[in-house]
Structure 1
Amino acid sequence: MDKPLYVRLRHRIQARPNQTIKLQDVAQLVGDTDIIEQVNNIAIHQVNMTDQSIVVLDVMRIIKEIRATGQELDIQTFGPAQTIVEIVYKKKKFRPMFFVAVWLLLFLGAALAIMNFHEDVSMRIVHQKIFKTITGLEDDKPLLLQIPYSIGLGLGMILFFNHVFRKRINEEPSPLEVEMFNYQQDLDQYVIMHENKESSKKIDDN
């Protein structure tokens, strides 16, 4: 009777250039200890320069490589059907001037967006009317309202994004993190469909 081997592919892994990707790198394995020791080091893919930055490994290729060892195994697969291999090259050096330029661009862009929004909704006039309603006085610059409002706007942004610099306020993900997660999921799905050679088959004109 074939011995069972349970295979669950990892969704995404990282690899170095020229690295040999083994079965234990791309999958979680459950089975008899002696079987896992024998299949753990099966070479699945050799990273080379033609791979560029992304490689998609299909579960059928994994099964084929395991079967090639000649062992009688009952292979059961769970989870994703592909593993995305991200090839990590040398990180670029930190450039202070580039960081400052991007920071200024984002800061000025956010500031202009907030000011334009306030101008569109006539926030200055609203503050003047609220100030007159509360105090009975007219003031072109009701700083008693504008200063706390500005501070509250900044605090509200901190609470909304759930971060103070790199420190997270609580474990709940921020809306930005959720959107980034959804974007990454869509990107991974696109990569799986377009980079995986086994996902489609074209008619040979020849």
Structure 2
Amino acid sequence: MPFRDRTEAGHRLAQALLLHRGDEPVVLALPRGGVSIAAEVARALNAPLDLILVRKIGVPQHPELAMGAIVDGADPLVVRNEDVIATAQVSDSTFNAACKQELAEIKRRRTRYVGSRAHPKLQGRTVIVVDDGIATGATTRAALRSIRKQKPGRLILAVPVAPTDSLVELRSEADEIVCLENYESFGAVGFYYSDFHEVSDEEVRSLLAAADAQVPKPAGAL
């Protein structure tokens, strides 16, 4: 296995990102698995850690197959995977119902993880988006597009492992991509970790609290 667990992968990813420490970046994690990785990156870069809440919209009969993704916000951003929608013959009403279901889960997670905690402004900043890996790229693409709307100075995608073709497709969405391992024949993200346990809500809350204690709140925090 390339990685023992998410902590080791995060440490190795952080080493590859050290040149951005002087940029005073903001690190955004895709929960839940991405938070363990991002916490290591934020610690190494002395950067604030926050969440970008994205949910995959799964095909009803095959929920692991992404037909799109949705990102939280005042005007939630939806990304559709038209090829999957057409192949699975998913109607607009079915797709919209799935969107509403995932948006409700996003709101639950925002309340659970974030509450009233301050969020750093992203405009003009170097923003590093971190996950534990990429599968289809649907949730990653949605996250990057949502962040781009906030006008960051530089947008970086950083992951330990990903399919080669997904990285190619995402190059237009980020200014830079840092990926430690990529494979043409991929499978699932968990195949590349010896320990790929499901990260709990409590682990997410604990990692965010530790990050808040480590890094002073940036000027301009909301």
Q: Return the structure number with greater helix share.
A: 1
Larger radius of gyration: 1
Return the TM-score normalized by structure 1.
0.23
Return the TM-score normalized by structure 2.
0.22
